[in-house]
Amino acid sequence: MERLRSSQRLKVFFEVVNALAEKILLLTLGGLFVTVIIQIIGRIVGMPAPWTEEGTRYLFLWMMFIALAYGFRFGESARVNVFMDLLPAPVRKLSGYIYLVATIGFFVFIAVYGGELVIQQVAMNEKGAAIMIPMAAIGMTLPVSGVLGVITTFQCLIETPEKIFGGIDL
């Protein structure tokens, strides 16, 4: 009974994290679309807004890093599944463990060093050139995507381990 409740809580946790990631992705995509449209219209009428280029870049960074981490919940990223299917079962199983360690290590690296970057940006009061927003708001995408990547990798491991281990019984 306790295991069932724990499993349900974990499922709810994953749903909340995924919903939050999806909302961030929709907001950044929508913001990116609006910013580019403003940039296009400004150039057509001969009055380009200087902030649109920088805004597009910042929104794209957030969208890219969150989407990268979010995509790992499906267990399809950075894998050559056709090649993996040709390998013998023991090698496929070992490659699953290598994949897990490398993926989680990568995301922990991004979270730790991204966090250090944000601390440095806050200490130096670094601001964007055109928009003048704190660069820490942009740098936060690194630790956020690092933590999200670890969570989504564990989600894939728990919910669909066959995607990581190629259908091999653990």
List pLDDT tens digits, range 50-83: 899 999 999 999 999 999 999 888 876 656 666 7
CA dist 36 and 165 (Å) reads 41
Q: Which residue has the tokens 């995301």?
A: 107
First to last CA, the chain: 24
CA dist 55 and 131 (Å) reads 7
pLDDT digits (tens, 9 = 90+) for 1-25: 566 677 889 999 999 999 999 999 9
What is the pLDDT confidence band of residue 141, given thresholds at 50, 70 and 90?
A: very high
- Contact predicate 94/144, CB 8 Å: no
pLDDT digits (tens, 9 = 90+) for 75-109: 766 566 667 777 787 887 788 888 899 999 999 99
With 90 as the cut, is the pLDDT of residue 152 above it? yes
Tell me what pLDDT residue 18 has.
95
Tell me what pLDDT residue 4 has.
64
- Note the pTM of the prediction, 2 decimals: 0.86
CA dist 55 and 132 (Å) reads 10
CA dist 164 and 156 (Å) reads 8
- Contact predicate 92/84, CB 8 Å: yes
What is the pLDDT confidence band of residue 38, given thresholds at 50, 70 and 90?
A: very high
